[in-house]
Structure 1
Amino acid sequence: MSWLILCLAGLLEIGWAIGLKYTEGFTRFWPSVATVVSLLVSFALLGIAMRSLPVGTAYAVWVGIGAVGTAVLGMLLFGEPTEPLRLVSLGLICAGIVGLKLAHG
């Protein structure tokens, strides 16, 4: 169950990271509210997951999910670069996330 909670926390991290773009420097009310709520819930779920997962593993997986998801959505939503090296690097982050999960059991 902790892994599911951690994955949800990571997805919400993607939400608040992408949401920051839509807040336009926190000048837009509803995108700002959604971003802050997503941030708070993401942190809370990360804390819950850390009750039974090692802190280093949980944090690395949370950041990895957020980084990869945010980068991919940046490419899809905002036309950010999709060079091969960037895609390979994101794949390596994914491999690291899988490795941490396999190492924990």
Structure 2
Amino acid sequence: MKADAAWGWMYLALAIGLELSGTVAMKYSAGFSRLWPSVLMFAFYGASFTCLNFALKTINVSIAYAIWSGVGIVLITLAGFVLFKQPLPWTSMIWVGVIVAGIVGLNMSAGGH
């Protein structure tokens, strides 16, 4: 893997973490009724899109966006369960597994990067 490609994957991982943080902050903002979680939400999402933009310099947009959104869905599902005590029925876990399978399949079908 070339150094530039490694940076792209690091930016994508950072974008995913920031997107997760933005979504958690959104929940804590309570519909924009709490100032600091609302401010953090915008900051995290802005930083996430910036990192995603840098990742797109070396990763195909279809792959990067699928991974960014899919992994974000999986992580926020887990965060909802752990942080917000939201139920996670086994049927939901199956569908999250389908999302993961789709991400892996799309990544494999890209045939290297």
Structure 1 length-normalised TM:
0.89
After superposition, residues 34-45 of structure 1 pair within 5 angstroms as: 34-45=40-51
Task: Give the match for residue 100 of structure 1.
Answer: 106
1:4 matched residue in structure 2: 10
1:67 equivalent among 52, 70, 73: 73
Q: Which amino acid aligns with 1:50?
A: L
Instruction: Flag the structure with larger Rg.
Output: 2
List structure 1 segments (4+ residues) > 6 angstroms apart after TM superposition.
none
Please give the alpha-carbon distance, in whole angstroms, between the structure 2 residues aligned to 1:11 and 1:28: 22
Correspondences of 1:47-62 after superposition (within 5 Å): 47-62=53-68
Rounded to whole Å, the distance in 1 between the matches of 2:14 and 2:98 is 21
Paired residue for 1:88? 94
SS where residue 10 of structure 2 aligns? Answer: helix
| RMSD of aligned residue pairs (Cα, Å) | 1.4
The corresponding residue for 2:28 is 22
CA contact (8 A) 1:11 1:65 kept: no
What TM-score, normalized by structure 2, do the two folds share? 0.84
Contact 1:7 1:65 in 2 (8 A): no
Comparing 10-19 with 35-44, greater Cα deviation is found at: 10-19
Number of residue equivalences: 105
Percent identical residues: 38
Aligned partners of 1:100 and 1:70: how far apart in 2? 21
**Larger displacement relative to structure 2 (93-102 or 12-21):** 93-102
